[in-house]
Structure 1
């Protein structure tokens, strides 16, 4: 893997494919790592130049419990400068979807298209009920034993045993304190939001067995912003790209190929 230096430490990233091909940056979710996108790399590398990374506090990147979305946005920009790509499409899962929106709001001229998997809209925000659930979940996670928290995450976020084993492995690497810190940053990010809707082609995706509030928020996002494309992946949970890679890959390939900028 390649790496860039930041004030807090090293960020690791990997490129696959030929730089002259259309570029895509893929951003994983909380507690995971760049291997989240293994089923997509194999499918997309022939016709695209792919970049995956380990977010701060994840994988091989520096360990820092104070995860910060603004800093992460600047890390994404630094990686794009490093790989010499002026424009790129972004794919983000869970917090990765929030990062894609946050980044696009700040650097819209560098983004072609967005694919958001299992993540609410930063512009439209959450209703009061869902906001309350976020806060309750955050407090409950602090007092829940780590073993139970991991088991709950596995069963709630994925359907396939291979995906569940991947979640358990990466959560062990991330650790409880880091996970809780990132979850709190997610809550703050969603509540703060962004000042205007994103004026880019957007593909919204979630699994048909994803968390109920995610399904609700993404459907409402599509209804409020009907120029977005919306897809519910069958037999898939929160990490739908691993639970049902065949349908997920077909959806994103069609969007990338046929949707105009």
Structure 2
């Protein structure tokens, strides 16, 4: 039976989420946070797998999926919406899994509520913190929305989907979500998310276990490059998922689920 979506409201708009409770009320909770221009269905291959041992929460972050009627986006506001969801569901501690810009939301949430985060898993995620980027690189990232705006809608949809999925499932999973958004909304998403990217200038000091993951075929911008740099400078372990692009969790879900499951059994369920 499909889980019915719920919502929380703020003056900025409604944010939709889905939660599957484990029979054990004390089971840890995993929050899956998707990347740009997709939605909670990016984790369709994770929900049943991790639902065996965890309570699983997915959501459409502001400007995405069913949460698209949203004003004044920022990562801080997105983190506030997530905290409102967790309070509504009485979930006091969570494992955060974020893909792409979803990893920015997870980092911001950790900055606001470090005591509530049991572990962080970043998938194709770039770190907060100016020390990782040159001024030229930051200027280049701020120009990305203009590049997106130049593409015709069909080419925009297919190129974004191909960057996220190289397997048949990964590509079609991404395309089905991306095609729900007209070009003007995708351009707005890129503009709003990239404009807020450098608001928090310091790196996040994680006090919980961290795992960084990249797809071996992730050529989306420089996510993989900066994820590797983050691992090298911080000492956080990084795992490369074979035969996977940016949405490694969908492109090679068997390997992804196995890697994450083993990490959490060592670090959270022990």
Under a length normalisation based on structure 1, what TM-score does the superposition of the two structures give? 0.92
**Shift in Å, 1:5:** 2.0
Provide the rounded CA distance (Å) in 2 between the counterparts of 1:112 and 1:194: 24
Select between 30-39 and 58-67 the one with higher mean Cα deviation: 58-67
How many residues matched?
260
Provide the rounded CA distance (Å) in 1 between the counterparts of 2:189 and 2:7: 22
Provide the rounded CA distance (Å) in 2 between the counterparts of 1:65 and 1:147: 26
Provide the rounded CA distance (Å) in 2 between the counterparts of 1:194 and 1:128: 13
1:222 corresponds to 2:203: no
Matched ranges for 1:23-172 at <5 A: 23-64=29-70, 66-123=72-129, 124-172=131-179
Q: For 1:12, what is the secondary structure of its paired residue?
A: strand
Which structure 2 residue ranges, 5 or more long, are not aligned?
none
Under a length normalisation based on structure 2, what TM-score does the superposition of the two structures give? 0.89
Provide the rounded CA distance (Å) in 1 between the counterparts of 2:216 and 2:134: 21
| Cα distance change, pair 194–259 in 1 and its aligned pair in 2 (3 A) | farther
Provide the rounded CA distance (Å) in 1 between the counterparts of 2:225 and 2:19: 34
Provide the rounded CA distance (Å) in 2 between the counterparts of 1:168 and 1:207: 18
Q: Could you tell me whether the CA contact under 8 Å between 2:96 and 2:120 is conserved in 1?
A: yes
What do you get for the CA RMSD once the two structures are aligned? 1.9
The one-character-per-residue Cα deviations of 1:125-159 (angstroms, maximum 9, x if unpaired) are 43345324323332121222111211211222210
1:239 corresponds to 2:255: no
User: What's 1:255 paired with?
Assistant: 263
